[in-house]
Amino acid sequence: VSPALQQAAREASPYLTYLGAFSFQAKRDGTLEEPPLNNLKEIADRHRTTMMMIVTNLENEAFSDELGRIILTDQNVKNRLLDNIVAAARRYGFKDIHFDFEYLRPEDREAYNQFLRDARARFKREGWFISTALAPKTRADQPGQWYEAHDYRAHGEIVDFVVLMTYEWGYSGGPPMAVSPIGPVREVIEYALTEMPASKIVMGQNLYGYDWTLPYTPGGPLARAISPQR
């Protein structure tokens, strides 16, 4: 963790409920590749901020549906992964385990739901929370690989809370537009409210913007990310 990131965590921690470390990457054999944490735990403890362990299906810097398939459908790999998550969470003092599994195969939807049920049973014995990141859907049968394996109703029943990924409509490779436009964000939240209690919904909000080169030309230079201060 860079000194700048540690300082940002130090400044934000007094105002945060959760401080998440992105990310613990699940591997095809059920092991975990851990991010550097340095003194994030001490920073969180000082302000009574709950440490969130973010587990992803990232592989070679991209979300992998094949990695997801193995984790969710191979019983031995799944059990080994859950064992390793529990061991790491005990070691570092994480109190919320957050799954950010993206671009899963549509046919693994129920396997993901069952994975979360199994994980919840393990984590509740430890007294931990479980949460998930959900793609920004506006209906249950929304087509597209980003959406189909994310079952809002099941997640609402299984986990303690979900984080809706209500951002990135405007993105670095696309045309200039709001990153989190209020109309589409509202539609996602209104759909989520039909599937789960409001108390389980956390709205994702970007703390960054983009600076596009105008006039915009598809395939042209990527927009530069800019900080809240900028």
* Residues labelled catalytic: 102
Cα(86)–Cα(124) distance, integer angstroms: 11
Q: Are strands 209-211 and 224-226 parallel, antiparallel or unpaired?
A: antiparallel
Largest CA-CA distance found in the chain, in angstroms, rounded: 56
